[in-house]
Structure 1
């Protein structure tokens, strides 16, 4: 385990994503499954995907499923001492294109890139300035390409 340089409270854990709730929320098991503290409701930092019932919600959930379900993930969460029901985290997995490689695919950034989430700077205080720029640029590119929820002239806010 190690702390990332841009946060004094962050901690990266290797977890296993067991279920997908929506395009931006998953359940992950981090550590011993018998421990009540091992199970985490994880909300991806810096993004907001459409809510169930909204346009593109099913596509966002499916994309998240395809990227992370039943895979080991590096989960970098907010204050590790928090007992909050929902944790705000960055989730990194191994991309399907390099199954034996390192966990370099940022699930939140991937959803932004294909237009299945909105960039939420207020929820991304722990991202470095470079990462914040990547997230913002990914949304701008998706808008320009009219990808995903940006196909609608007035996409619903999650």
Structure 2
């Protein structure tokens, strides 16, 4: 009876070992759409990855908005993302095939299974991009980072990059309209006795 039990324990042991391994990288790997080798970091929410067929793709990390170049913490945010994933093989889950710039919007996971978006928000290196994500975990992590005044939240007046981009677009549109109005009235003065008098 003891010998019979012993032989039963051997396959059970291998099964447990396999399950334990699947709780690590292999489990996450099965849930990924695919994996890429990170070859460059653009900023705190954008990077380039090399696929298995050697195709280089520019990715946008889902759920976060990192400081733009020239904003406070832009370099630190880029470096933090680099520390997390640069020169590493990461898991990719596609949320959207392409944004307005043609970049796939993706969830990214480190080799040990960490959600990169969550890690960036937790460290105060990116905002939770609520316009495109209603993730409660991200919202909670941002609240904690804000309360602890870490990263971007140590700035007394942090400006979300999306707001900065919106203001820049409005400024450009206003300037474009002003140039167009000036061009349409160029060479004409205020009407005199019902006639528009040219100024040239």
Shared fold per TM-score greater than 0.5:
yes
Determine whether 1:116 maps to 2:125: yes
User: Could you state the TM-score of these two structures normalised by the residue count of structure 1?
Assistant: 0.76
Matched, 1:151 2:154: yes
More contact order relative to length (CA 8 Å, sep ≥ 6): 1
C-alpha separation between the residues in 2 aligned to 1:79 and 1:116? 23
Aligned residues: 132
8 Å CA contact 1:92–1:104 kept in 2: the answer is yes
Query: Which residue number corresponds to residue 97 of structure 1?
Result: none
The answer (yes or no) to whether the contact 2:96–2:105 under 8 Å persists in 1 is no
> Kindly tell me: are residues 156 and 79 of structure 1, through their superposed partners in 2, closer, same or farther at Cα, counting changes over 3 Å?
closer
- Provide the secondary structure at the position in 1 that maps to 2:40: strand
| Runs of 4+ residues over 6 Å off in structure 1 | none
Greater share of helix: 2
Q: Where does the alignment leave 5 or more consecutive residues of structure 1 unmatched?
A: 5-10, 95-102, 126-131
Q: Aligned with 1:86: secondary structure? A: coil
Bigger share in strand: 1
Task: Tell which structure's C-alpha radius of gyration is larger.
Answer: 2
